[in-house]
Structure 1
Amino acid sequence: MSSSDDDAPLLKASRPSGLNPGVSIRFGPIDNEDVDMKDAANGVNGHAVGKRRARVSAGKQSYAEAESSEDEKPLSKKRRVSTKKQDDSDSEEDIPLARKANAAKLPRASETAIGEESDSDIPIERKLKKQKANIEKKAEQEAKAIRKAEATSLKKTSTEKAAANGKKPKANGVKTENGVGTKKIKAEPSTPVKKGKGKATPVKEESEDVEAAEEEEEYRWWEDPTKGDGTIKWTTLEHNGVVFPPPYEPLPKNVKMKYDGIPVVLEPEAEEVAGFFGSMLNSTHNVENPTFQKNFFDDFKAILKKTGGAKTQKGEPIDIKEFSKCDFKPIFEYYDAKRLEKKAMSAAEKKALKAEKDAAEAPYMYCMWDGRKQKVGNFRVEPPGLFRGRGEHPKTGKVKTRVQPEQITINIGKEAKVPPPPEGHKWKEVRHDQEGTWLAMWQENVNGNYKYVMLAANSDIKGQSDYKKFEKARELKKHIDRIREDYRVGLKSELMADRQRATAVYLIDKFALRAGNEKGEDEADTVGCCSLKYENVSLRPPNTVIFDFLGKDSIRFYDEVEVDPQVFKNLKIFKKAPKKEGDEIFDRLTTSALNKHLSNYMPGLTAKVFRTYNASYTFATLLKDMKAEGTVAEKVKQYNDANRRVAILCNHKRTVTAGHANQMEKLGDRIKGLRYQKWRVKMMMLDLDPSQKKKKGAKYFELDDDLDQAWIQEHQAFLVEEQKQKITKKFEKENEKLAAEGEKEMKPKELDERLAVLKDMEKKFQKENKTGKVEAEGKGQTIEKLENNVAKLEQRIETMSLQAEDKENNKEVALGTSKINYIDPRLTVVFTKKFNVPIEKFFSKTLREKFDWAIKSVDEDWEF
């Protein structure tokens, strides 16, 4: 595209003072109206996302452009008909679209004792703009330095080799491509390696002792740079197949769904489907959804037709036509009673059931992979039910049919024993695919997706996948400056396809948008950067862009961001008439074309690597400047503050959960409870020594204003109930132990005697409320002991207040998403070692197993 007079003002315009695009500026309600601009399309951008449809261009484009090849033609003219799913497989937390929060109020600041910074009225997004710009500048400088150092190292090595062979080195000492001096850079292994004849071996730590060597050697695959280079994933593979869900148990004869008030007799297959809906009547979010109801009822009628229809108890046929006449309450009441029955089981009974289940599944939990015992992840075949989907999925409510062995393909070693299928059945196929990391697979009926049985998250194969993902992001830091420089130039390209591609890379890099793929008509209407529609992007001068679309998992993505003036100008051009709602913004760009372009910078580079790189590099930069001090709780909060900055800078957001306000209120009550307990301890000091009031001052013993009498009485009742539950639980545990040891259990009378203390507790509280005095509790109490108790309670209050502040700050930020999926776990390990914080504070047991390679492979000096 040639620069026209219309483009000139924006092409020449300098960036406004203080403008650092790249951070969300979203505040306040959604602006439903599009911007009326002279050179933008007229009309209103609706925020309700409609069905994706193919763009049909009407008339000639309004912008001039040089003639281009087939690749430069609008995709609408190339009949883009791909129905492949979005290939961005980054695992994110499964967060549904939150419904509007209820009217419950957040606790007052005085209730939670949470303070705010003096500049708390300045949104953190604005505070971080300058910081993000500095981090990006530092990244680009570092990339140049890394490549320069590697080029010097390669040149030195080449010179030394040439000298040893008596040959004159080449002018540059570096191999070039296409005659332009592009350097071929070999990625360095993440750990030091000894070089010698034959295979490279990892450097052994000095602390390794002889006894450890004599034991079975731990396989530290992350220290072997050659592992995983080939396509063969295993040589030998043995496993026991999959676990099928239990067969359907028909309902009792007295439990029937009703149609128009009449009990209905169904065949077992149809009755099971009716039970799917009936058992989840308490899930109003699903069963009251019209799409869910329609999809379920369509499938239910099809199964009724297949099984011979419904009948009355006298055997007369019933034609089930209207969903509104179906009554599933009898089924719900039956299943709800079963749930309550299971919940009421004793701990011993639950434990016995679990032990029985574990014993039955034990043979399927592990496999032998190249002679090493590896844990299998999802070895259970998903039971039949109703598909729910995430967000506004068009297929929500459809019946997920029972998976049969005839649908399942087994992958196993040639020499291994093939696990037998259930009696009377056979496997669809048995393969020996050594390039596959799956053990079994089948195709589900709702979306046609393939389901795979894979190894567990803490297995070598899964760990290698994570390791490669983060190493790929580390490799990107060597090239980020060239990529950013190229797309800045490309923003003004004369070729529309190049300009669209540069704009897309800018949005992906700056705002962590996913690339996006084409969707079929029957798939969830989700989009990404390359598939943004006209109605998904609104423009507000001078440089604000408003995104509103359904992203991954049908979660609504709404954000307001400030962009570079040239990007704003480009988006105006991409939206020019004759484009209209339903047309694509980037009509000359596909995800595959974008990723192919990115792979020119480094092998395997795709759009989704930017999310990992930006998150990890940002956190690594913050970590270098961090000076975490104070208690463990304070250090954890400082880590979370840095994590939150990463999530904001990288646009990892989530909707506020419906229960957040209630959780904060409960947390506020717990803090108030500790403050009430602290007051009681102080009053005990006066009971022992009334002169303390004069020594410490009357204010020291005052009750906080917000701890009124009504709240105190309610809290006292809570304390009594809490104590009752503790006594009861302890009694049951002791009885379980006695039963396990074959001894006689205690009688209920013993429990009644133990619970008698609750009456004394209630009388004590009543007396305190009446007199305003608190008697010292416990034997041998002294003023010093009580002062120590006060100090401990103050520490607990401070710790819990930090947690509350953290929770409130994180309500719209997906910290888990950043920490688990995008921030290199080795950086979290570096933090724990550098500031002496237990790793358990950040990674659960499951995550510690998943990131075992990260925990064991780095020390506090490791750098991303």
Structure 2
Amino acid sequence: MSSASDDDRPLGANGNPNGLHRANGNGHVPVREKELSPMSEDEELSVPVPARNLKRKKPIYAESSSESSEDDTPLASSPTKLATSAAISMPGAFEATTVSASSVNGKGKAKSNVSKAELSDDEYADDDAPKRKRAAGSKEKSKPAKKKIKQDTPAASGSDDDDDTPIATTKPAAPRKRKVKVESDADSGDDQPIAKKFAAKKPRASKVKMEGGEEPPKAKRGKAKKEEANGSPVKGKGRKEEQEVEVFRWWDADQNGDNSVKWTTLEHNGVIFPDPYDPLPANVKMKYNGKDLDLPPASEEVATFYAALIESDHAKDDTFNKNFFEDWQAVLKRHPPRDGTKVTKFDLCDFRPMYEYFEAEKAKKKALSSQEKKELKQVKDEQEHKYKTCLLDGRKEQVGNFRVEPPGLFRGRGDHPKKGALKYRVRPEDITINIGEGAPIPVPNMPGQWKEVIHDNTVTWLATWTENVNSNHKYVFLAAGSSLKGQSDMIKFEKARELKKHVDKIRQNYNVDLKSKVMADRQRATTMYFIDKLALRAGNEKGDDEADTVGCCSLRTEHVTLEAPNFIIFDFLGKDSIRYYNRVPVEPQIFKNIRIFKENKGVGDSLFDRVNTAGLNKHLQSEMKGLTAKVFRTFNASITFQRLLDENKLENATPQEKLNAYNKANREVAILCNHRRTVPKTHDQSMEKVRDKHRGLKYERMKLRHALFKIDKKFRKDPEYRDDESDIDDEWIVSHEEALKAKEIEKAEKKFAKENEKLLEDDKEAQENSVLQERIAEIEKDYKRLVKERGTEQAELKREKPVEKIEEAITKLTERIKANKLQIIDRDEGKEVALGTSKINYLDPRITAAWCKIHDVPVEKIFSKTLITKFPWAMEVEEDWKF
């Protein structure tokens, strides 16, 4: 075997990951698409659902994780009508904003001279403010709508969530049993419970250690790892926040046929509010027209929201700047600068002094010692501890998003018309709490009383409120690993599996309707074709104050181009303003239909003007109970993934080759579902580090080969050892060895300082600096030897080894080099694709669990601890299970 063979090829991707891929065998050919704007964890997304050209708008639903579903919710029934203005009334919405943390605690630091009356609910909105910010509806609201609600997971999930809709219910209509929408935090509420009951077994409870959805910590090399009950490694020494939680094995229990009642008893501690605003030091002032601007706390806080972003892309966006300045001016009218300055021009504002102060504070925090950071984290954990769990039917279960989002500026995604708008501070008076009858009412961690306390056991949310920018309903739900969420996930995927029994008939029916003389039927059949073959979202019409994103039913003529003889080109902004571009061959009848639908229509006209999502889903319900466009999307993703995995022959594959095969299949499904992301800004830098590590491994192998040559010259003629590493030149070797030497010296210095610290703690005398200098001199000596060895093809090892050990080490390094190269290729191919969304929402986790068992791959290599906790019911599947 030649050392310069396979692993010495260029480290580019094998093939073009962003080129054509056939993902489902149905003529779908996704191509490279460009994701527009990424969104941080605290960003929110408008989720409008009104029908195009209708006079009244339908209510908007979102989740408090700030990521929301857009197109996939069935509209067969119209929810309760809500206020339609861009802003809603929030009782007392900024009262706490201008009160410093110290003044709340009675310490009297930096007290505001603004009276309590000035901090009322109209603090940031009055008659002079833009209409977008004026109150809509009365102060007293009816109970939150229950028809369609959304849920999110804790921020730690990181996932790039898509189509998230929580468990939703409707009031039972006598005498029929009500239909209940059940769905997890990571999917939309389209999936009706299937009629099939799960096997009746005696429920059991097993104790495992859980940490509320944290990612599994990396185990340190050379130290023993402690395994959790689910197989996830955790650090060996007990962590304080780690606690034993009894996991209810609901999948072994008798399933209750009445889905209207979700729980019998429920106790929790409500939500935790962010700290009140603490004014900046007196010497930190923004400038207006070159002069310091003396702002009261309420106005200063809003200014800080923008100041923190001045070096980001948001501050370069005209819409963002315009919306921020309009809302800030409305606040300034209520709380003008103390020096009487009139702020009228955005261009005269200089927020840099605030920005520099924040950067300095970040640097100070980063410079804290490990012990100081640990103490700060411990204080935070103690404050949040009681909010992390609740008692559901006597069982302790994890709560998901128990933190109320702090005020800030709405960022949105893509070209959202409201980006930059001010998000108000949420107070207890804005929040409705849901607990069991007789359960103690939780006490807010800030002054105020809850808006309402209800006892509704037909819903699964613990708290709800409405944010002001998009009028989205926010909800607090149980965490991803809870029994209720697990049941909704299983029901969702079982519904998608049930579609397998009906899909042939459904396809036969819509193929007949493709030639129907009734235009509405022909258009509906065409949309069903695209939803089935291309996994498009159904799509809903948008208002003028919402992002112009579309799905299948809301496509306009400019989004679809015909190319003879049988190609259709799609080009539009989908969910989260991610571009969908696809040139795909279609059947002649589809091509003909699109040509007919485009006739006598101009730009801006609806392509499918006889179809809407409500009518489409109503028709799908007639084809199969509980069927919606969302079910088709889940079905196509999962069945395509199963097929792609089954096509791989991995009998003699290495562990990394197996992982690459899995990720490749996952990538094709993500492309099918248009789960795109922008290439991370640090991608090139991180890839260079990975490639440098790759060359470092080759350097180690080269030194071992040269050690063999010094022992016996005959090894120079051995084909396995004679060829040098092709991508290691003399210049790189010099820089690499210098970097190694610097790293060794730094390591010695840190070890020396730690040893002295330990000695002082034990009341012993510290070592003299000469000890360190001796160690550094020894390192220098070793690297002088390396300099002499350059170009000689001979090397001396630090420790003598027999030939057999050296040959064994070379073999192991060769295997590591190959595995490392596969990792580089895999990472580079996935730079524009978000793999997490499909894992969480669209791929039945049992496919992964069974595949891992077949190929002897630890599931922890593929699923994070969060996903293992989310899908415990899937981990016990047999290896011969198929979707």
Q: Mark yes or no: TM-score above 0.5.
A: yes
Say whether the 8 Å CA contact 1:96–1:391 is kept in structure 2. Answer: no
CA distance in 2, matches of 1:745, 1:848: 50
Tell me which residue corresponds to 1:500. Answer: 523
Counterpart CA distance in 1 for 2:804 and 2:409 is: 63
Give the equivalent residue in structure 1 for 2:628: 606
Q: Deviations over 1:344-390 (max 9, x none)?
A: 11111111111111111111110000100000111111111111111
The structure-2 alpha-carbon separation of the partners of 1:507 and 1:305, relative to structure 1 and needing over 3 Å to count, comes to same
Return the offset for 1:517: 1.1
1:585 matched to 2:585? The reply is: no
Secondary structure, aligned partner of 1:766? helix
User: In structure 2, what is the Cα distance between the partners aligned to 1:528 and 1:792?
Assistant: 51
User: Given that residues 259 and 327 in structure 1 are in contact (C-alpha distance below 8 angstroms), is that contact kept between their aligned partners in structure 2?
Assistant: yes
- The alignment status of 1:265 with 2:290, answered yes or no, reads no
Residue in 2 that maps onto 1:23: 28
Look up the match of 2:316.
Answer: 288
Of residues 323, 329, 354, the one that matches 1:301 is: 329
Residues in 2 aligned to 1:780 and 1:251: alpha-carbon distance in whole angstroms: 63
Residue 760 (structure 2) pairs with residue 718 (structure 1): no
SS across alignment from 1:395: coil
1 CA distance for matches of 2:863 and 2:404? 28
Matches within 5 A, 1:807-818: 807-818=827-838
Find 1:396's aligned residue among 404, 415, 419: 419
Equivalent-residue separation in structure 2 for 1:835 and 1:622 (angstroms): 15
Deviates more, 1:488-497 or 1:420-429: 420-429
Contact 1:410 1:427 in 2 (8 A): yes
Q: Which amino acid aligns with 2:838?
A: S
- Structure 1 residues 708-717 or 810-819, which shifts more? 810-819
In structure 1, the partner of 2:868 is: 848
- Trace 1:751-790 onto structure 2 (pairs within 5 A): 758-769=779-790, 772-790=792-810
2:721 match: secondary structure: helix
CA contact (8 A) 1:96 1:555 kept: no
- Structure with greater Cα Rg: 1
Query: Where in structure 2 are the equivalents of 1:427-442 lying within 5 Å?
Result: 427-442=450-465
Q: Matched residues in 1 for 2:846 and 2:772: separation?
A: 51
2:12 alignment counterpart: none
| CA 728–716 in structure 1, closer or farther in 2 if over 3 Å, else same | same
User: Which residue of the other structure, out of 637, 658, 665, is the alignment partner of 2:660?
Assistant: 637
Whole-Å Cα distance in 1 between the matches of residues 384 and 619 of structure 2? 47
Inter-partner Cα distance in structure 2 for 1:217 and 1:343 = 37
Does the 8 Å CA contact 2:159/2:836 hold for their aligned counterparts?
A: no
Q: Which letter maps to 2:332?
A: L
CA distance in 2 between counterparts of 1:403 and 1:737 reads 48
Which residue number in structure 2 is paired with residue 620 of structure 1?
A: 642
AA partner of residue 860 (structure 1): E
- Change in Cα spacing, 1:705 to 1:632, as seen in structure 2 (3 Å) is closer
Q: Is the 8 A contact 1:640 1:806 kept in 2?
A: yes
- Which range moves more in the overlay, 558-567 or 683-692? 683-692
Name the residue aligned to 2:702: 679
The one-character-per-residue Cα deviations of 1:175-197 (angstroms, maximum 9, x if unpaired) are xxxxxxxxxx985456xx3xxxx
Please say if 1:489 is aligned against 2:516: no
Question: What residue is the counterpart of 1:67 in the other structure?
Answer: none
Please tell me whether residue 278 in structure 1 is matched to residue 307 in structure 2: yes
1:478 partner SS: helix
Q: Which shows bigger deviation, 216-225 or 450-459?
A: 216-225
Partners of 1:259 and 1:704 lie apart in 2 by 61
Q: CA shift at 1:514, angstroms? A: 0.5
Q: Which amino acid aligns with 1:268?
A: P
Alpha-carbon separation, structure 2, partners of 1:358 and 1:548: 47
Other-structure match for 1:452: 475
Matched to 1:278, the amino acid is A
754 and 324 in structure 1: CA distance in 2 versus 1, 3 angstrom threshold: farther
Q: Which whole-Å deviations, capped at 9, do the CAs of 1:633-687 have from their partners, x for residues lacking one?
A: 2222222233334345555555544444444333222212211221111112223
Q: Which deviations, in whole Å up to 9, do the C-alpha atoms of 1:394-430 show, x marking residues without a partner?
A: 1111121211111111111111100112454111111
Normalised by the length of structure 1, the TM-score is 0.74
Deviation sequence 1:219-247 (CA, Å, 0-9, x none): 32123452464211111011111111111
Shift of 1:624: 4.3
Q: Given residue 820 of structure 1, which amino acid in structure 2 is its aligned partner?
A: I
What pairs up with 1:487-566 in 2 under 5 angstroms? 487-566=510-589
Matching of residue 340 in structure 1 with residue 344 in structure 2: no
Q: 1:625 to 1:581 in 2, by over 3 A?
A: closer
* Whole-angstrom CA distance in 2 between matches of 1:669 and 1:232: 58
User: What amino acid does structure 2 have at the position aligned with 1:273?
Assistant: V
Aligned CA-pair RMSD: 3.5
Supply the AA of the counterpart residue of 2:268. Answer: H
TM-fit CA distance, 1:735:
7.8
**1:325-404 alignment to 2 at 5 Å?**
325-404=348-427
- Give 1:767 deviation, angstroms: 2.9
Q: Is the 8 A contact 1:84 1:519 kept in 2?
A: no
**Which residue type is aligned with residue 220 of structure 1?**
R
Quote how far apart the aligned CAs of 1:318 are. 1.2
Native 8 Å contact 2:839 2:845 kept in 1: yes
The C-alpha deviation readout for 1:810-861, integer Å capped at 9, x for no partner, is 33444333333211000100011111110111101111111112113x1112
Which runs of 5 or more residues in structure 1 are unaligned?
A: 1-18, 31-50, 56-74, 98-184, 194-199, 206-211
The aligned residue for residue 473 of structure 1 is 496
Deviation, structure 1 residue 454: 0.9
Name the CA distance, whole Å, in 2 between partners of 1:682 and 1:854.
48
SS at structure 2 position matched to 1:441: strand
Write the distance in 2 (CA, Å) between the matches of 1:614 and 1:501.
19
Whether contact under 8 Å (2:261, 2:457) holds in the other structure is: yes
Tell me, yes or no, if the aligned pair for 1:240 and 1:363 is still in contact at 8 Å: yes
Comparing 720-729 with 434-443, which one deviates more in the overlay? Answer: 720-729
Could you tell which deviates more after superposition, 617-626 or 491-500? 617-626
- Checking the alignment, whether the CA contact within 8 Å between 1:84 and 1:520 is kept in structure 2 is no
1:793 CA displacement: 0.9
Partner of 2:248: helix, strand, or coil? coil
Judged with a 3 Å threshold, the aligned counterparts in structure 2 of structure 1 residues 703 and 588 are, in CA distance, closer, same or farther, namely same
CA contact (8 A) 2:708 2:806 kept: yes
Aligned partners of 1:814 and 1:839: how far apart in 2? 19
Query: Of 613, 617, 626, which aligns to 1:595?
Result: 617
Q: Deviations over 1:317-339 (max 9, x none)?
A: 21111111111111111000110
Report SS of the residue matched to 2:368: coil
TM-score, length basis structure 2 = 0.73
Deviations 1:222-276 (A, max 9, x none): 2345246421111101111111111111111111101111011000111111111
Q: What is aligned with 1:43?
A: none
**1:122 maps to what in 2?**
none
**Structure 1 residue 202 displacement after superposition:** 5.9
Distance in 2 between the 1:23 and 1:748 partners? 71
Q: CA deviation at 1:79?
A: 5.8
For the 8 Å contact 1:258–1:328, the answer to whether it is kept is: yes
Instruction: Say if 1:840 and 1:746 are closer, same or farther in 2 by CA, change over 3 A.
Output: farther
What SS does the aligned partner of 2:553 have?
helix
Q: Give, in whole Å, the separation in 1 of the partners of 2:271 and 2:518.
A: 54
Contact 2:571-2:582 at 8 Å conserved across structures: yes
Asked if the contact 2:47/2:60 (under 8 Å) is kept, the reply is no
CA distance in 1, matches of 2:32, 2:812: 40
Alpha-carbon distance between aligned partners in 2 of 1:811 and 1:485, rounded to the nearest angstrom: 39
Unaligned runs of 5+ in 2: 1-23, 36-45, 62-69, 74-149, 163-192, 206-228, 230-243
User: Does residue 1:221 correspond to 2:250, yes or no?
Assistant: yes
Contact 1:655 1:812 in 2 (8 A): yes
Task: Tell me if 1:665 matches 2:725.
Answer: no
Q: Distance in 1 between matches of 2:527 and 2:354?
A: 52
1:414 matched to 2:437: yes
Shift of 1:566: 1.0
CA distance in 2, matches of 1:552, 1:840: 30
Q: Following superposition of structure 1 onto structure 2, how do residues 801-840 of structure 1 map, counting pairs within 5 Å? A: 801-840=821-860
